[in-house]
């Protein structure tokens, strides 16, 4: 299950660069359904299969959050540190 969790995390991180957050709903449901069916067909009890699949299906959401942070961090590195217009300094009201 670790390779599936890693793959889900990376898919979520890639989705953060190109899609809105609504892409996570079909991705999470597809991952949840496919893993539940796979584990159930391998002989795992139904509730155990659903619980394990639920834990793994959270990975694209965590990857999406990581991808958003990475995108924000990279865009902050591209911004200039100084502005072209000077910031006005306010005088003190009382002397």
Q: Which pLDDT value is given to residue 74?
A: 87
- Inside any domain, residue 67: yes
Q: Which pLDDT value is given to residue 4?
A: 87
pLDDT, tens digit (0-9, with 9 covering 90-100), for 41-90: 998 898 998 898 898 889 999 999 999 999 988 888 887 766 666 666 67
- Inside any domain, residue 95: no
Number of domains in the chain: 1
- Inside any domain, residue 61: yes
Containing H/E element for 66?
helix 59-78
- Inside any domain, residue 46: yes
């Amino acid at each position: 299950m670790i390779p599936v969790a890693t793959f889900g995390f990376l898919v979520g991180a890639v989705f953060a660069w190109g899609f809105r957050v609504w892409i996570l709903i079909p991705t999470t449901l597809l991952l949840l359904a496919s893993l539940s069916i796979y584990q159930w067909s391998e002989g795992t009890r139904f509730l155990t299969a659903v619980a394990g699949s639920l834990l793994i299906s959270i990975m694209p959401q965590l990857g999406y959050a990581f991808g958003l942070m990475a995108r924000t961090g990279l865009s902050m590195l591209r911004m200039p540190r100084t502005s072209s217009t000077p910031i006005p300094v306010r005088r003190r009201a009382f002397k």
